[in-house]
Amino acid sequence: MEYLLIFITAIFVNNIVFSQFLGICPFLGVSKKISTALGMGAAVTFVLTLATVVTYLIQIYVLNTNGLEYLQTLVFILVIAALVQMVEIVLKKVSPPLYQALGIFLPLITTNCAVLGVAILVIQKDFSLIQSIVYAISTAIGFAVALVVFAGIREQMELVNIPKGMRGISIVLITAGLISLAFMGFSGVDGGLKVLFGIE
C-alpha cells in the first residue's frame, strides 16, 4: 500500500510540473501536439527511471561511503548527461525506428530539470531503491499526463477565436495556471489514503 500511495501522490498530488514546477521548459515547448507530447512523455519515463536508479546507487555506494555528498549535484548532472548520450547511441544501433520516433526528445531530456530534481528528491526523502524506482516511474507518468492534457487543450485552442491581446504565450501561461489549480483539487488525497490504509 505504501507503493500505491507513492504512485498516486507523485502523479496527482505532487505532480512534478504543477506542484513542484520542474520540467517547465519541455512542458511549454513540446506541448503543441499530442503526438509529440506522448513521445516526450515516453522518453522522459525511460530516462528518468534509469537515471534515478544509477544516481541512487552512486549516492549510496560512492558519494556517501567516501564522504563526497557535497558533489551530489555536479555528479548527478554529469551522470544524467552521460546516460542520455549512451541511451541515444544504443537506441541508434539497436532500434533505429524507436530512435527516429524519439528524434529530438532524447537530447532535450538532458536539460530537463525534472530528471535531476527526482534524482535529488529520492535521496532527500530517504527512499529505498524500490521506493525510488516507484517514485521515478510515477513522477514520469505524472509529467506525461500533464504534457498530454496540456497538449490536448492547446490543440483545441487552435480552433478557438482567442482575443488578439491574449494570443501566443499569454493564453498558454493562463491555461497552464488553470490546469495547475485543477490539480490542487487532489491535495487532500494523500492524507485520505494514509488514513484509509493506516499508513503513518
pLDDT single digits (tens) 6-32? 888 888 888 888 888 888 877 887 778
8 Å CB contact between 149 and 179 = yes
Q: Distance (Å, rounded) from C-alpha 96 to C-alpha 104?
A: 14
Measured in whole angstroms, how far is the alpha carbon of residue 97 from the centre of its chain? 24
Q: Which residues contact 131 (CB under 8 A, 6 or more apart)?
A: 2, 3, 6, 122
pLDDT mean over 150-175 = 86
The pTM score is 0.85
From residue 175, alpha-carbon distances to 24, 119, 139, 150, 181 in Å are: 13, 29, 21, 8, 10
Q: Distance (Å, rounded) from C-alpha 153 to C-alpha 66?
A: 49
Per-residue pLDDT reduced to its tens digit, 31-52: 788 887 887 888 888 889 999 9
Per-residue pLDDT reduced to its tens digit, 75-118: 999 999 888 888 788 878 877 777 776 667 777 777 778 899 99
> What pLDDT, on a 0 to 100 scale, did the predictor assign at position 141?
93
